[in-house]
Structure 1
Amino acid sequence: MPIARIERIVGGIVRGRVERGSDGLFACHEFGSNVHPVSLSTLEDVADYLRANPSSGVRMNPGWVKIVRNIYIDGILLR
């Protein structure tokens, strides 16, 4: 089943959503990095990356900020 959404949820409220950047790709970052994103084309790729790389993060809107905690994939807590 395809991934429909990756969100940051705090206190039961959605505070951020993974969205494509201006280049049309999703931006993930290794632990400790805010530059040199890993560009991915699908939410499935983003979910696989986050699962395979503990402490990695993904850029979310609003604000296009890197998020590493309170990440939910289709409503299920990742970390």
Structure 2
Amino acid sequence: MPVAKIERVVGGIVTGRVERGSDGLFACHGFGSNVTPTQLASLDDVADFLQSRPRSGVRMNPGWSRITRNIFIDGVRLR
């Protein structure tokens, strides 16, 4: 089943959502990287990236911040 949403949830409140950047792609970052993102085309690819790389992150709005904690994929906590 395809991934429908990837969010940051803090205290039961959604505080961020993964969205495409101005280039139409999602921006993921491996641990220790904040500058050169891995550009991915689908939420399924983003979910695979986050699940296979501990302490990795993804850019979320609002603010286009790099988020590494409190990530939920379709309502299930990642870590």
- Coarse TM-score class (shorter-chain normalised): over 0.9
Deviation of residue 63 (structure 1)? Answer: 0.1
SS of match in other structure, 1:51: helix
The superposition leaves residues 17-40 of structure 1 with CA deviations (integer Å, 9 ceiling, x where unpaired) of 000000000000010111110000
- How many correspondences in the alignment? 79
1:73 and 2:35 are equivalent in the alignment:
no
Q: Any unmatched runs of 5+ in structure 1?
A: none
Q: 1:71 is aligned with what amino acid?
A: I
Deviation of residue 41 (structure 1)? Answer: 0.1
SS of match in other structure, 1:47: helix
Q: 1:2 is aligned with what amino acid?
A: P
Distance 1:57 1:24 in 2: 18
What is the aligned-residue identity percentage? Answer: 72
Distance 1:70 1:32 in 2: 18
- Please name the residue that 2:48 is paired with: 48
Q: Which 4+ runs in 1 deviate beyond 4 A?
A: none
Q: Any unmatched runs of 5+ in structure 2?
A: none
Q: 1:19 is aligned with what amino acid?
A: E
TM-score w.r.t. structure 2 length?
A: 0.99
What is the aligned-residue RMSD (CA, Å)? Answer: 0.3
